[in-house]
A and B are shown apart, each in its own frame.
Chain A
Amino acid sequence: MKNENLYNYILGIADNSLILGQRMGELCGHGPSLETDIACTNISLDLFGQVRSYFQYASKIAGDGRTEDDIAMLRKEREYKNVLLAEQPNTDFAYTIGRQFLFDVYHLAFLRELQKSTDLTLSAIANKCIKEVSYHERFSSDWVKRLGDGTEESHQKMQNAIDDLWTYTDELFHQTEADKAMVAEGIGVDVTKLKEAYYKNVSELLEEATLKVPDLKYFQKGGKEGVHTEHMGYLLTDLQYMQRAYPNMEW
Chain B
Amino acid sequence: MSEEQIRSLERQFDEKIARDEKIEPKDWMPEKYRQTHIRQMSQHAHSEIVGMLPEGNWITRAPSLRRKVALLAKVQDEAGHGLYLYSATETLGISREEMYEQLHTGKAKYSSIFNYPTLTWADMGAIGWLVDGAAIINQVPLCNTSYGPYARAMIRVCKEESFHQRQGFEIMLKLANGTPEQKEMAQDALNRWWWPSLMMLGPTDDKSVHTEQSMKWKLKRKTNDELRQQFIDQTVPQADILGLTIPDPDLKWNEERQSYDFGEINWDEFWQVVKGHGPMNKERMKARVGAWERGEWVRDAAMAHAEKKQARKEKQAV
Give me the interface of A with B, judged by CB distance under 8 Å: 22, 25-26, 28-38, 41-42, 44-45, 48-49, 51-52, 55, 68-69, 72-73, 92-93, 145-147, 149-151, 153-154, 157, 238-239, 241-243, 246, 249-251
Report Cα–Cα, A28/B74, bound state, in Å. 11
Contact flag A68-B121 (CB < 8 Å), given A149-B305, A150-B301: no
* Interface status of B282 (Cβ within 8 A of chain A): no
Number of B residues, CB within 8 Å of A: 48
A16 to chain B, nearest CB (A): 15
B215 within 8 A of A: no
* Pair A32/B75 contact, Cβ less than 8 Å: no
Pick out which of these stretches binds chain A: B130-138, B178-186, B235-243, B260-268: B178-186
Complex A-B: 18 CB contacts under 8 Å: A25-B60, A25-B72, A31-B291, A32-B295, A33-B295, A34-B49, A41-B75, A42-B76, A44-B59, A45-B69, A45-B76, A52-B66, A145-B305, A150-B305, A151-B304, A153-B297, A242-B121, A251-B66
Determine the chain B residues whose CB is within 8 A of the CB of A36 once the complex forms: 295, 298
The CA-CA distance from A165 to B118 in the complex, in Å, is 34
Contact A34 B61 (CB under 8 A): no
Complex Cα distance, B62 from A146, in Å, reads 33
Binary flags per residue of B271-305, CB closer than 8 Å to A gives 1, else 0: 00000000000000001001100111111111111
- How far is the CB of B115 from the nearest CB of chain A, in Å? 15
Chain B residues in 8 Å Cβ range of A145: 305
Chain B residues lying within 8 Å of A146, measured Cβ to Cβ, are 301-302, 305
Chain B residues within an 8 Å CB radius of A33: 295, 298-299
Whether the Cβ atoms of B179 and A249 lie closer than 8 Å is yes
Candidates B72, B82, B299; contact of A44 at CB < 8 Å: B72
Known: A45-B76, A151-B304. A243 touches B63 (CB 8 A): yes
Question: Given the complex of chains A and B, what is the CA–CA distance between A44 and B52 in angstroms?
Answer: 15
Question: How many Å from the CB of A56 to the closest CB on chain B?
Answer: 9
Query: Which chain B residues lie closer than 8 Å to A72 at the CB level?
Result: 65
Known: A36-B298, A48-B68. A150 touches B304 (CB 8 A): yes
Least Cβ distance of A240 to chain B in Å?
9
Of the candidates A32, A49, A246, the one whose C-beta lies within 8 Å of that of B298 is A32
* 18 extra interface residue pairs, beta carbon distance < 8 Å, beyond A30-B56, A154-B298, A157-B297: A22-B60, A26-B59, A28-B72, A29-B75, A29-B291, A32-B299, A34-B82, A41-B72, A49-B69, A52-B69, A149-B305, A151-B297, A238-B60, A238-B61, A242-B121, A249-B179, A250-B178, A251-B64
The binding surface of chain B is classed by DSSP as helix
Interface of chain B residues 74 through 118 with chain A (CB within 8 A): 75-76, 79-80, 82-83, 86
Question: Does A151 lie within 8 Å of B67, measured CB to CB?
Answer: no
The verdict on A30 contacting B291 (CB below 8 Å), with A36-B298, A38-B80, A154-B298 known, is yes
Is B174 on the interface with A (CB-CB < 8 A)? Answer: yes
Return chain B residues, CB-CB under 8 Å to A44. 59, 72
> In whole Å, how far is B163's beta carbon from the nearest beta carbon of chain A?
15
B156 touches A (CB below 8 Å): no
Q: How far is the CA of A149 from the CA of B304 in the complex (A)?
A: 8
Q: Are B298 and A69 in contact (CB under 8 A)?
A: no
| Those 3 A-B pairs whose CB atoms lie nearest each other, nearest first | A32-B295, A150-B301, A154-B301
Closest CB of chain B to A68's CB: distance in Å? Answer: 6
Are B298 and A93 in contact, with the CB atoms below 8 A? yes
B65 touches A34 (CB 8 A): no
A211 to B66, CA, bound (A): 40
| CA of A29 to CA of B308, assembled, Å | 29
Most buried by A among B80, B83, B295, B300: B295
Beta-carbon nearest neighbor of B125 in chain A: A251
A145 to B174 alpha-carbon distance, docked (Å): 46
